[in-house]
Amino acid sequence: QVQLVESGGGLVQPGGSLRLSCAASRSIFSFNAMGWYRQAPGKTRELVAIIVSGSTTKYADSVKGRFTISRDAAKNTMILQMNSLKPEDTAVYYCNAIDITGGSWGQGTQVTVSS
């Protein structure tokens, strides 16, 4: 059973940057797809960015040009680089991974953008 652990969340001022990491219990390149989702209080969980096995990426319109999803082979982690952060980016960010058996979720990491 795959386990996913997010890290890197915290408090940052508007316009600042954060880098989120997702560590997996097996090779991240063994998944068909991985992605980052987020959920703000009182809101539904929404897709932020995904990356498939062929390294194709997709982003939510709200984060295009500001966020970048990638994989770090040396550390076996999936990265979400977040720049030009806005208060509306405040949410719990979740790591997701999909393989032939289904999907797995991490516990989430809190990101708060506030002055």
The pLDDT tens digits for 83-92 are: 999 999 999 9
Contacts of 36 (CB under 8 A, 6+ apart): 20, 22, 47, 48, 49, 50, 69, 78, 80, 93, 94, 95, 96
The pLDDT tens digits for 23-73 are: 999 999 999 999 999 999 999 999 999 999 888 999 999 999 999 999 999
Helices and strands: H and E segment counts in the chain: 0, 11
